[in-house]
Structure 1
Amino acid sequence: MATLTPTSISAAGTLNSTSNAAVGGDKVRPIGDRVFVEITNGGGSSITVTIPSYASVRGQAAADRTVTIAASATKKIPIYADLNASPADGLASITYSGVTTVTVGAYRV
Structure 2
Amino acid sequence: MAALALTLVPVAGGATLDTTAVSATALGDTAPIGPGRFLYVFNGDATSKTVTIASPGTVSGVAIANVTVTVAAGKTACVPLTGLSRGADGRAAITYSAVTAVKVGAFELGR
**TM-score, structure 2 normalization:** 0.90
Cα distance between partner residues in 2 of 1:68 and 1:53? 17
Cα distance between partner residues in 1 of 2:87 and 2:51? 17
Percent identity over paired residues: 41
Task: State the match for 1:8 in structure 2.
Answer: 8
Structure 1, unmatched stretches of 5+, are: none
Following superposition, the deviation at residue 18 of structure 1 comes to 0.5
Q: Which runs of 4+ in 1 moved over 3 A?
A: none
Cα distance between partner residues in 2 of 1:8 and 1:36? 11
Does the Cα contact within 8 Å between 2:33 and 2:92 map onto a contact in 1? yes
Task: State the match for 1:108 in structure 2.
Answer: 108
Q: Deviations over 1:42-83 (max 9, x none)?
A: 1111111111102222211101111111111100001112x1
Task: State the match for 1:65 in structure 2.
Answer: 67
Following superposition, the deviation at residue 15 of structure 1 comes to 3.0
Task: State the match for 2:54 in structure 1.
Answer: 52
Following superposition, the deviation at residue 22 of structure 1 comes to 0.7
Structure 2, unmatched stretches of 5+, are: none
**TM-score, structure 1 normalization:** 0.91
Matched, 1:25 2:28: yes
Cα distance between partner residues in 1 of 2:32 and 2:43? 22
Letter in 1 for 2:15: T
Q: Number of matched residues?
A: 106
Does the Cα contact within 8 Å between 2:54 and 2:85 map onto a contact in 1? yes
Cα distance between partner residues in 2 of 1:42 and 1:97? 14
Report the RMSD for the aligned CA atoms in angstroms: 1.1
